[in-house]
A and B are shown apart, each in its own frame.
Chain A
Amino acid sequence: MIIDREGSHFIFIVPWDHVYKHYNYINYRGKELTNKDYLEYWGKWIILGSRKDLDELAKKIDPFVEDKLIPAVKYDREPIPEFQLETCVMCVYCDVRQREEVWRILSSLGVEDKAWVFEKETVERWLPGGHLLEKWIEGKGLNPEEAEKVRESSREKFRTMFEHEYAVFRGVDQ
């Protein structure tokens, strides 16, 4: 089902079971991923497009998410101004071991641009010194003290998230 809450920057597509029955879509063949597994196997296909294009694609993807052939999707409500990308980004999440199955579905829906990103790479880029965090800080025009607070907060967030490598991964705050 498509979750479009006005207060959120992101629009999500997740299975109905996830919303109402605590189904954890971060799994591989039914087995939930640990924090360690998450960093090793979880990732996403990246699709760029206008909000209108991504809304249309989301409607086509939704049934595949409901059937659990695609675990979950997230996309921008509008381009993130700090990144000056001028386009919205859709992330189609899955385990790397099922990514070709997911790609075949996306390809059948007309997606052509093929770009796979491991979550580990994204986490590293949002850590202090990482390209995305530093670019975001720059885009926000934060002063050095504010920037350092943001860096410390990021460091702490990821430290607690991945503290226990064999605990079941419970998701990232969005």
Chain B
Amino acid sequence: MGITIRLTAKLARLTNSNKVIFYDLKGENDLRSLIDALDEKFPGLKSVLCDEEFKITDSINIYLNGENVRYLEGVNTQLKEGDSINIIPAEAAG
């Protein structure tokens, strides 16, 4: 089943125009490992989403099932089968 990741058109430029990505969970199941895995597939994505200390940048909002992960556990937020992630520029949340 895995999880579904959705990106806006602007961010999808970093994922070969894939606006929806399906990801099978394996091993570590937190947001940090997901971002690492996505960055392997789409190099450069991590540096847009996170700073050098692996903190989500101010210009990005990541939602897990509708909830901003900043108010959960940031990149340490645990993921589970069936979860839905939305990644949008922070400007959209105005």
Q: How far is the CA of A83 from the CA of B6 in the complex (A)?
A: 20
Q: How far is the CA of A144 from the CA of B74 in the complex (A)?
A: 34
A101 smallest CB distance to B (angstroms)? 13
Cβ contact within 8 Å between A114 and B66? yes
Cβ contact within 8 Å between B86 and A85? no
Among the listed B59, B65, B93, which residue makes an inter-chain contact with A46, where contact means beta carbons less than 8 Å apart? B93
Q: How large is the interface on A (under 10, 10 to 19, 20 to 34, 35 or more residues)?
A: 20 to 34
Cβ contact within 8 Å between A116 and B67? yes
Cβ contact within 8 Å between A131 and B90? yes
Main secondary structure of the interface of A (DSSP, over half): mixed
Q: How many A-B residue pairs have CB under 8 A?
A: 69
A119 smallest CB distance to B (angstroms)? 11
Q: How far is the CA of A135 from the CA of B94 in the complex (A)?
A: 11
A115-B65 contact in complex given A48-B8, A86-B9, A87-B9, C-beta closer than 8 Å: no
Cβ contact within 8 Å between B10 and A115? no
B69 smallest CB distance to A (angstroms)? 11
Q: A135: which B residues are within 8 A, CB to CB?
A: 59, 91
Q: How far is the CA of A84 from the CA of B94 in the complex (A)?
A: 13
Q: A45: which B residues are within 8 A, CB to CB?
A: 66
User: Which B residues contact A (CB, under 8 angstroms)?
Assistant: 6, 8-10, 58-59, 61, 63, 65-68, 84, 86, 88-94
Q: 8 A-B pairs, CB-CB below 8 angstroms?
A: A46-B93, A86-B9, A113-B88, A115-B61, A115-B66, A116-B66, A132-B90, A135-B91
User: Which A residues contact B (CB, under 8 angstroms)?
Assistant: 45-46, 48, 80, 83-87, 89, 103, 112-117, 121-122, 125-126, 131-132, 135
